[in-house]
Amino acid sequence: MSDTLMSRIEARRDELVALTQELIRIPTLNPPGRHYRDICTHLEARLAARGFACELVRAEGTPGDSDTYPRWNLVARREGTRPGDCVHFNSHHDVVEVGQGWTRDPFGGELDGDRIYGRGSCDMKGGLAASIIAVEAFLEEHPGHAGAIEISATADEESGGYGGVAYLAERGYFDPARVQHVIIPEPLQKDRICLGHRGGWWAEIETRGEIAHGSMPFLGDCAVRHMGAVLAAFEDKLYPALASRFTEMPVVPDGARQSTMNINSIHGGQAEPAPGDTSLPAHCVPDSCRIVIDRRFLIEEGLEAVQSEITGLLEALKAERPGFDYEIRELNRVIPSMTDRDAPVVTTVGRAVREVLGCEAAHVASPGSYDQKHIDRIGRLRNCIAYGPGLLELAHKPDEWVGVTDMLDSAKVMARSLEHLLTG
C-alpha cells in the first residue's frame, strides 16, 4: 500500500475538475440521444494517449438508434505486464432532460467552492471522471501491474441500457472470462457499496366500455368507472399486501425496503386538448381507459407471483362486476440483482474505504435499477457493484452538483482497490 498513490491523486485535483467540466459541457441528452459520439471520441483521445486500446461500438438497431441519434459506446482496455484479473469501470455517458428550476447553466460545468454544477455532474459524469483519474494515477504508480484495466462509457442507461451495457453484454464484453471485477461509479456516496437493486415490472392495463351519449350513460358502459373499480381493488387489497412485505436486501431509503407500486399515468375518454385549444369537450361515455403501472418488487417475491397477484385481482373483478373486461400488456421487466457481500469486489472496495476514509463501508441496494441488471443476467458476471461519488438524491434534480472532495476521496478508494486487485 503506497501513500504516493494517494498524493498522486491529490495532485490531480485541478485535472479532475477540468475533466468533469469537459464531460458536463458535452450535452449528451437522453432522450433523444445527443452527442454520444462526441463524448466517446473525447474520452478515446484521452485514453488512447495513455496506452488504452479503444473501441467505439454503435448499438445498431436498439431502441432510439438512428443515423441522427446513433447509440455510440466506448470500451477502452489496457493490458498489464503479467497475467491477472481484469477490473472494469463502467459509466453511462447519457444524462436526463434539464427540466425547470435551474439557477445555474446546466451545461456550463460551473465550479463554485467545492461543487461542480450541471446536468449529469452527479449522475454520473463525476463518477466517470473520478474513475479515470484513479486509473491514471494507478498506472503512473504501478506501471508493471498485473491483469488488465477496462473503462467503458456507455449509452442509454437512463432509458434502460439496451443501446449500452445490454448490447455490449450480448456481445461478450462482460463475459466472466474477459472481465472479473466490475465497478459502476453511480452516485451512491463515497462510503457506501451498492450490491444491487430491486426488480421492476411495467405494464399497461386497459378497461373497456361502450361509447354512448353523455346525457344517457345508461345506454353505454363507462370504461373509467371500470378503471375506478380496478383502482379501488388496488387500494383495498394490493397496497396493504405490498406494504406488509419487506426485503432482506439493504435497500435505501428505508421506504423502498418494501414492495411498491406507482401508477405512472391514467387516461380515459376524449384525448387531452392541445395547448391553446379552446374548444369544449363533446359529451361521450368513454369506451376505453388505460393506466400504466410501475411495480417494484423484492428479490424474495419473484416476477411470476408479482404478475399473478395483479391478474388475480383483475380476474376477480371480471367474475363479480357486470360488463367488466380488461387487457394487460407487459411494457418492460427487470429482474432483481444482488451481489454477495463476500464477493471479491465487495470485500476489496470495503477494505479500501476503511483504509482511505477510516470507516466501515455501508452495504446498500438501490430502489431503482441500473446497468448491473444486464451485467448479471446477460453477462453472467456476478462480481459487480456500484460505487462512486455524489448524492443519489441530487440525480435528475435542478441545480444538480457533485462535490470535488467526494470525487477525490472516491478516486482514492478506486485506485486503492486497483492496488489490491492488480499488484502484489
Strand order in the sheet with 115-117: 111-112, 115-117, 401-403
Cβ 241 to Zn ion, closest distance in Å? 31
- Of 137 and 391, the one with the shorter C-beta distance to Zn ion is 391
Contact criterion met (CB below 8 Å) for 104 and 118: yes
Q: Which residues neighbour 218 within 8 Å (Cβ) at sequence distance 6 or greater?
A: none
Decide: is 122 part of the binding site for Zn ion (CB under 5 A): no
* For Zn ion, the closer CB: 124 or 148: 124
Centroid of chain to Cα 328: 26
Determine, following the binding rule CB under 5 A, whether residue 409 of this chain makes contact with Zn ion. Answer: no
Match 431502441 to its residue by C-alpha cell.
Answer: 63
- Beta-strand ranges (E) seen in 209-318 are 260-268, 288-297
Number of residues forming the site for Zn ion (CB under 5 A): 3
6 or 39: CB nearest Zn ion: 39
CA distance 36 to 95: 10
Chain residue whose CB lies nearest Zn ion: 123
Nearest approach, Cβ of residue 187 and Zn ion (Å): 7
Min. distance of Cβ 353 from Zn ion in angstroms? 20
Residues in contact with 158: Cβ distance below 8 Å, sequence separation at least 6, in sequence order: 30, 92, 94, 95, 96
Cell reading at 236? 383495498
* Residue 177 region by backbone torsions, left for phi larger than 0, else alpha for psi between -120 and 50, else beta: alpha
User: Are residues 285 and 268 in contact, defined by beta-carbon separation less than 8 angstroms?
Assistant: no
CB of 186 to Zn ion, least distance (A): 5
5 vs 334, beta carbon nearer Zn ion: 334
Among 123, 301, 376, 400, binds Zn ion (CB under 5 A): 123
Q: Least Å distance between CB 157 and Zn ion?
A: 6
**Residue (182 or 422) nearer to Zn ion, CB:** 182
In this chain, which of 39, 57, 86, 124 binds Zn ion, going by CB under 5 A?
Answer: 124
Shortest gap between Cβ of 184 and Zn ion (angstroms)?
Answer: 9
* 419 near Zn ion (CB under 5 A): no
Q: Indicate whether 310 belongs to the interface with Zn ion (CB under 5 A).
A: no
Give me 35's grid cell: 452527442
- For position 391 contacting Zn ion by CB under 5 A, the verdict is no
Contact flags string 151-190 toward Zn ion, x per CB under 5 A:
-----------------------------------x----
Asked if 85 is part of the footprint of Zn ion (rule: CB under 5 A), the reply reads no
- Over its C-alpha atoms, the chain yields an Rg (Å, rounded) of 24
CB 151 within 8 A of CB 48: no
> Is residue 164 a contact partner of residue 154, using CB atoms and an 8 Å limit?
yes
Residue 127 beta carbon to Zn ion: minimum distance, rounded to whole angstroms: 8
Binding site for Zn ion (CB under 5 A): 123-124, 186
